[in-house]
Amino acid sequence: MRSGFYYLAAVFWLGSLAGGHAEQKPRIAALKLEPGERLKVDGLLDEEAWQRAPKGGGFRQYDPGRGTPATERTEFAIAYDLDHLYVAVWCYDSEPGGVMARSMVRDRMYTGSDFVYLFFDTYHDQRNGYVFAVNPTGAQSDALITNNTGRNFSWDGIWTSKAAITEEGWFVEMAVPFKTLSFDPEGTVWGFNMSRRIRRKNESVRWTGWKDEIKSHNAVEAGDITGLGGMRQGLGLELSPYAVGRYGSGGSEGDSLGGDVGANIRYRVTPSFSATLSYNTDFAETEVDQRVVNFSRFPLFFPEKRDFFLEDSGIYDFGPGMERKSRGPTFLPYFTRRIGLADGEIIPIQLASKLAGRLGDYDVGLTHARLAGSSGLDGQDVFAARVTKQVFAQSRVGVIATGGNPASSLDNYVGGLDFTYRTNEFLQDKILEANFYALGNYAEATGGGHGTDYAFGAQVSYPNDRWDGTLSYMEIGANFNPAMGYVQRTGVRTVSGLLRRKDRPGGSGWYRQLARGADFQVTSLTSGGLDSVRFGVVPFNIDFASTDELFLRISHDVDRPLEDFDIGNVTVPAANYSWTKARLEYETTSSRPVWGEFSVEAGQFYDGWRAKASAELEWNPNRHFRMKGTYQYNRVDLGGGEFDAHVGSLGVNWNLTPDLGWSSLVQYDSLSREVGFNSRIRWEYRPGSTIFLVLNQSLLAEDRGLGLERSDLTLKADATFRF
């Protein structure tokens, strides 16, 4: 086993050696401001410092062209003082009236808008970094990048940006406090890349690295910022207290009025490693989950949305990435929604602590939480730990461990290791990724005794421009039960693969890209026998010149459930089933004020048939207002009965500024007949400090109208102080 592992690693390494020499990357010198010199972040870029700062340029297209010159000029400059990194961007435009800016919502500023996207590799390790993006309204988006491919866009850093549309185009100015970043204080060079989206032309340009299969945050493709030094992070102490007041009415709980206080304290032990302590952790402002109806025999997956757990979450990434799994992951050894949530019930977190960051070549994460307990249980302690070490140029090896059971007093532990290999020099200039992982589980049993079981797998990916392929294997033991993880099904072996070909005609034709491909997934039982099969072909996936997209998929499924299960109000008996279906989907470009996605799907389904039609329509008349509606209709006719299922939502966003906005969302599904309403006002009165007013209501659709089941109004205020 060990010799096989080293053999595979040697094969991948030798393949990467065939790449030859990498191209020369561009460099830009950062301007160190004079003592007492200040820059006002207003987007005007009229300070003398920006006139003498070295300028970066030479942008080229990566979409639709590949390395062809940009049609509009872009320049940038970088400056810094003891406490801040400053960036100026000049997005010149021959048609300033055509600059598109339709969103002021944080992390949704890409929709229907021009934008600039900046990546900083603060350790110059060609693996990890930070993303900061701004559109012409000044709206922000930011993210943490891990190992080139892991992206955490739920992270919200503390920084300032302003944008201004002028007669020459639009300009951006931003200031990032060094207290927001982790970096090597002895380092003088950072990695850097930047891209710009010219929305009306559907053109994307980048400073360096013009292959469209890579992202602007792929650190290995970045250029360099030189001339840095002497930055400071202060004492490294961050205090974030909060106060919350609540009023609830209706339901079995009756009327209630109360409040609470809590705080997060973060101390940067080193410039790259921090400790966080959270007392009485509160998530009142967290966005609600999307309402869906389950048409399978497996549990649904809902992603984590709570900021405390999303920050530093990239450290815990284990095994193959989830980016390709459109249906969500099937297996996670550590799933943070197990902490503080159980079957829709909120379990108070009395105390939570985290250690996270980098120590030399190691990335380290440790999370502990003390839960109040639920369903008559005493308080529960749970933890997760993750350590990875950087090896080769872009690869890593790591271990993970979890302990505790949020839903039981029984012991439950998981331990495992993984190896991730990545190179962008395979066969000269191609990307190759490989993952190997293995886990063991110890679970104390009810009534005494315990059980142990395993999970392991591997995946090889070739995510490149013309050809894109993946092959993976995963095996999960029948008694593998990680109480802190997520497992869709156990006792299975799964082999899956994907092969896709993408062609581009070039020039100014009616389409930009034509993709075709096939995929498969075969799952068998470890006890013997076939469990399920899915095979699909995509005859065409056309990306038009307008960036509208038309997609057709035909698939054949086999399913052999061993037990009866319910879909809607119909019971599907255990038997052997097979069916074929087709799905046609059309998505319009967000460059238009009204845009959307429409699809129809029909075919056999178990011992009957199913037809589905869905629509998603969004209206962005200007930068301040957005309305989005979704609707899905399902007609299911099975041997045990038939039913219709309607699922819909309507959301409205209104932003006075990028820092002050109101959003509301109403959702409904006909099977539960429940209506959920969420309304939220968010005011970031200074960077990192916010006030939320949140209304959540649960209603039931009755013959005589809507009946209110529960209503909760929450006011929360928090502040961040840095020392």
* CATH number (domain holding residue 180): 2.60.40.1190
On whether residue 249 sits in a domain, the answer given is no
pLDDT at 153: 86
Q: Are residues 71 and 208 in the same domain?
A: yes
Taking 50 as the threshold, does the pLDDT of residue 63 lie above it? yes
User: What average pLDDT does range 187-201 have in this prediction?
Assistant: 96
Q: Do 321 and 177 have their domain in common?
A: no
State how many domains the chain has.
2
User: Do the domain assignments include residue 605?
Assistant: no
pLDDT of residue 327: 55
Burial of 344 (0-12, 13-18, 19+ CB in 10 A): exposed
The pLDDT value recorded for residue 2 is 42
Confidence of residue 281 (pLDDT cuts 50, 70, 90): confident
What residues contact 393, with CB distance under 8 A and at least 6 apart? 16, 126, 220, 423
Distance spanning both ends of the chain, measured CA to CA: 51
Residues 303 and 220 in one domain: no
Instruction: Please determine, for residue 509, whether its predicted confidence score (pLDDT) is greater than 90.
Output: no
275 three-class SS = strand
Residue 149: inside a domain: yes
Task: Please report the pLDDT score of residue 282 as a whole number.
Answer: 85
Query: Is residue 651's pLDDT more than 90?
Result: yes
Looking at the structure, do residues 308 and 175 belong to the same domain, yes or no? no
Where is mean pLDDT largest: 280-294, 506-520, 527-541? 527-541
Q: Which of 468, 490, 512 is the last residue of a domain?
A: 490
| Confidence at 184, pLDDT banded by 50, 70, 90 | confident
Same domain, 112 and 22: yes
DSSP per-residue codes, 116-149:
EEEEEETT-SSS-EEEEEE-TT--EEEEEEETTT
Q: Tell me the per-residue pLDDT of 65-99, one tens digit each, with 9 for 90 and over.
A: 888 999 999 999 999 999 999 999 999 999 999 99
Helix, strand, coil percent values for the chain (each to nearest 5): 5, 55, 40
Question: Domain check: are 204 and 309 in the same one?
Answer: no
Tell me which residue range forms the domain holding 385: 298-490
User: Percent of the chain, pLDDT > 70?
Assistant: 95
Residues 325 and 467 in one domain: yes
Kindly state whether residue 24 falls inside one of the protein's structural domains: yes
CA dihedral defined by 7, 13, 15, 18, rounded to 10 degrees? -140
**Residues 302, 212 share a domain:** no
SS3 (DSSP) at 605: strand
Which of the residue ranges 68-82, 151-165, 615-629 would you say has the lowest mean pLDDT? Answer: 151-165
pLDDT digits (tens, 9 = 90+) for 322-378: 443 445 678 899 999 999 887 667 888 999 999 999 998 899 999 999 998 766 677
Looking at the fold, whether 197 and 304 belong to one and the same domain comes out as no
Which of the listed residues 435, 458, 490 is the one where a domain comes to its end? 490
In a domain, 720, yes or no: no
The predicted pLDDT at position 376 comes to 64
Last residue in a domain, options 469, 490, 511: 490
Would you say residue 583 lies in a domain?
Answer: no
Cβ-contact 275, 353 below 8 angstroms: yes
Q: List Cβ neighbours of 215 (8 Å cut-off, separation of 6 or more).
A: none
Q: Which amino acid is at 70?
A: A
199 and 308 share one domain:
no
Mean pLDDT of 279-308: 88
Is position 328 within any domain? yes
Say yes or no: 447 and 322 in one domain.
yes
pLDDT confidence bin for 154, thresholds 50/70/90:
confident
In a domain, 681, yes or no: no
**Residue 37 above 80 pLDDT?**
yes
- Please determine, for residue 13, whether its predicted confidence score (pLDDT) is greater than 90: no
For residue range 202-232, what is the model confidence (pLDDT) as tens digits? 999 999 998 878 889 999 999 999 999 999 9
Question: Does residue 222 share a domain with residue 302?
Answer: no
